Chains A and B, each alone.
Chain A
């Protein structure tokens, strides 16, 4: 069980939305993490490597800053099943780049732009996410 946190989640969502708007204002780019991360790898089609790396370093700095300020650990439960996490990582990496976006690019940014492609993508990954968790937890036992 995890605690239902509507207020913190909404506020966190507002910050994510704000970051997406600021990235459009600064760089004119969609805040799609899979695209930003995927293009850290070659082949390079533009000169945006430094900007993408700076963004990712900002992401990585976030929980460390929170821990430094609050002095408290970040609540996190990550499976340490190696096979599960490696297969999950491969699927997430391949699927998000193959479909041109993930939860941020299609989910947040695409829905905000009323993009039909992003609506379709979001429906599909939500559906397979729900189905996967259902199969893992309720059919094959958790």
Chain B
């Protein structure tokens, strides 16, 4: 049941990415191109998503526990460390180069564009390197 629920939630997330245009790198790159062919659509994606999640989280988090787990795993950290600056800075550069962030890139695998099939393995390699480096640095 939990697996089926997760599949369906991923499906809804993916449908949202496709419907919104976020899964099209050309649209993402035009959103980021303030000085050129600016397409503000993606601000509406963020607006719609944050609006629903802002109120939805408040309702859901009134429960004692989620359906398939005994506790909510909500991040509690509040410190601003260098990783929180360096990571997003590198991520934003890659996002601006390829027009893909992780969700849209995974969603686009089945469409099998050559660029996607190069991006996704490289993305997993980058994720693996970050996890490896983080484990080594941890005490």
Contact = CB atoms under 8 A, between A and B. Distances in A.
B97 A26 contact: no
A129 to B, nearest CB: 4
B56 to A, nearest CB: 3
Contacts, number: 494
A82 B20 contact: no
B119 A86 contact: yes
B108 A78 contact: yes
A10 B47 contact: yes
Majority SS of interface residues in chain A? helix
B90 A11 contact: no
Interface of B: 2-27, 29-30, 32-37, 39-42, 44-54, 56-57, 59-61, 63, 65-69, 71-75, 77-80, 83-103, 105-111, 113-116, 118-131, 133-135
Interface of A: 1-31, 33-34, 37-38, 40-41, 43, 50-52, 54-66, 74-82, 84-104, 106-113, 115-117, 120-122, 124-134, 136-138
